[in-house]
Amino acid sequence: MGFRCCNREYLVDVSGRRARTVAVWCGAAMAAMVIVGCSSNLPRYTTTLPAPPPRDVVRLAPGDELEIKFQAVPELDDKQVIRPDGRISLQMVDEVMAAGLTPAELDQKLTELYAEKLREPVITVIVRTLANQKIYVGGEVKTPGLIDMEPGMTILEALIAAGGPLKESGDLTNVVIVRHKDGKRYMASVNLEEQFTAGSGEAVTLAPKDMVLVPQTGIDRANIWIDKHINRMIPRGDLAYLGVAVSQ
């Protein structure tokens, strides 16, 4: 026997003596399909995301590794990792706020500070590593986790770098982006289905520390719910959920 929901067929195999139990579980299955299968997995967020930084602008952040070289005074050369409070510690000038500055701005700041200590200092700031130029991609992708962000990386490029979405369970119509700026969290939903199927659509540029989530499709969640709450709880032989047909 079977039933339909969301233009798909759901089949169950009825056998054994417990017809009453079967009827109860069929009702539960239909309710599950209506509640779980026909509802969206995540809400759709319409918030406008803050604009990402320009591609040619790098802002220093905690964890970044710097090398600072003094042309005429090499004994002052130093290697520093920006601390969680955003500062670095240097000889003669002590604490210096580096986070939030570009390398050129930090260079200028140090030149001004050391001008009070040295005669015509020539300072070079070299960025060795950028610890925070990463993006987290999670949910229904092949290899969720942190990926290195290239300047101007789009959400589509990030998903490909994570191995691509899982075709069987990823809902590309409601991909969620989470962005933090000035202590606030912003969330937006993007429909990427056309970009994957037709190669068209507006490119969405990511910012450092963005989080990208590909949710499960409603039907995939329904299958998991049925397997957990029905197939594994009823006596063997009474009822078995066979799956979802692909008829539309």
Using CA atoms, how far apart are residues 106 and 50, in angstroms rounded to an integer? Answer: 25
Question: Coil, strand or helix: which one is 10?
Answer: strand
The pTM (predicted TM-score) of the whole model is 0.60
Give me the pLDDT at residue 115, please.
93
Give me the pLDDT at residue 88, please.
96
DSSP H/E element including 242: strand 239-244
Which residues make Cβ contacts (< 8 Å) with residue 25, sequence separation at least 6? 12, 230, 234, 238, 239
Strands (E), 46-149: 65-70, 78-81, 87-90, 94-97, 123-129, 134-139, 145-148
Give me the pLDDT at residue 235, please.
52
Helices marked H in the chain: 19-32, 103-114, 155-161, 193-197, 218-226
Give me the pLDDT at residue 11, please.
47
Total residue length of the chain: 248
User: Which tokens go with 40?
Assistant: 């969206």
Kindly list the averaged pLDDT for each block of 10 residues, start to end, along the chain of length 248. Answer: 47 48 51 49 72 82 94 92 95 93 95 92 92 88 90 89 83 88 87 73 84 77 54 50 41
Give me the pLDDT at residue 67, please.
96
Using CA atoms, how far apart are residues 55 and 24, in angstroms rounded to an integer? Answer: 59
Domains of the chain: 2-40+220-244 (no CATH), 65-129 (3.30.1950.10), 134-216 (3.10.560.10)
Question: Coil, strand or helix: which one is 83?
Answer: coil
Give me the pLDDT at residue 242, please.
42
